[in-house]
Amino acid sequence: MKSKEKYLQDLRQWLHDTSGSQLEEMSDFFSKRLDGYEEHMSVWEESYKLFAELLPFQCRKILDLGCGTGLELDHIWQKDPAIEVTGVDLCQSMLDKLSEKHSDRHLVTVCQDYFRYDIGCEKWDAIISFESLHHFLPERKGKLYQKIHNGLKKGGVFLLGDYIACCDEEEELLRSVYLEKRKQSLIPDKNFVHFDIPLTLEHESRLLQNAGFIIEKILDNPDGATIITAKKGDKNYGLQSKNI
């Protein structure tokens, strides 16, 4: 495993090498890469399996935000084929592939910006998201986490698997480059683009706790994904336990 210093050095070099590249609109980015998407994402295969294992057995109704082609759902339905899933994603071609793969499952797909999707109130046993939310600023994510909290049934779980910044320096570096690229290209705030702006674990956890979640588990996998299990609770609960 790389040291933090070597990792940051490589990140700065990559940002320098790609400084002339333009930001791509989110849906277009994934549509263009659909054919190789599942192979590319296979690096997180162990995390997908763990993701399914961490889903409570009593869950029957699940909302998947940024579901893509459903790589996490492949394993969840292996665990329980009767689970009902609503998958929300910006990319219709990915949703089409998901529907084709799982035409025999209880599946509803919605092509929409999940920040605007009506999550509802106390509707879901679990809400999940894997490697999607690191593309958005904390102000937007914080509001979404409040909607997720409200949308879960009592005792419901938010299962988040994502790219977490190793330190404040990585978080600040990527965010500054992201904001500068948006400014240079005159991209409106409402337009979603593909660029990684992960938060540190401390900042991600704080957003979840401010929304009323109780963080039950935090697992760091060798493949680079961090999985957070957050249970619906009341405001001002602290971090209960941490398993790394």
Return the structure tokens found at 47.
């995390």
Q: Determine the pLDDT at residue 81.
A: 94
Predicted pLDDT at 240: 41
Residue 125 CA neighbour count, 13 Å, CB half? 11
* pLDDT tens for each residue of 88-127: 999 999 999 999 999 999 999 999 999 999 999 999 999 9
pTM exceeds 0.85 for this model: yes
Asked if residue 224 has pLDDT above 90, the reply is no
Q: Note the pLDDT tens digit of each residue in 34-90.
A: 888 888 888 888 999 999 999 998 899 999 999 999 999 999 999 999 999 999 999
**Residue (of 68, 83, 76) closest to 47 by Cα position:** 76
Question: What is the model's pLDDT at position 235?
Answer: 52
Percent of the chain residues past pLDDT 70, beyond the cut: 95
Q: Angle 168-185/4-17 helices, nearest 10 degrees?
A: 10
Domains and CATH numbers, the chain: 25-186+199-232 (3.40.50.150)
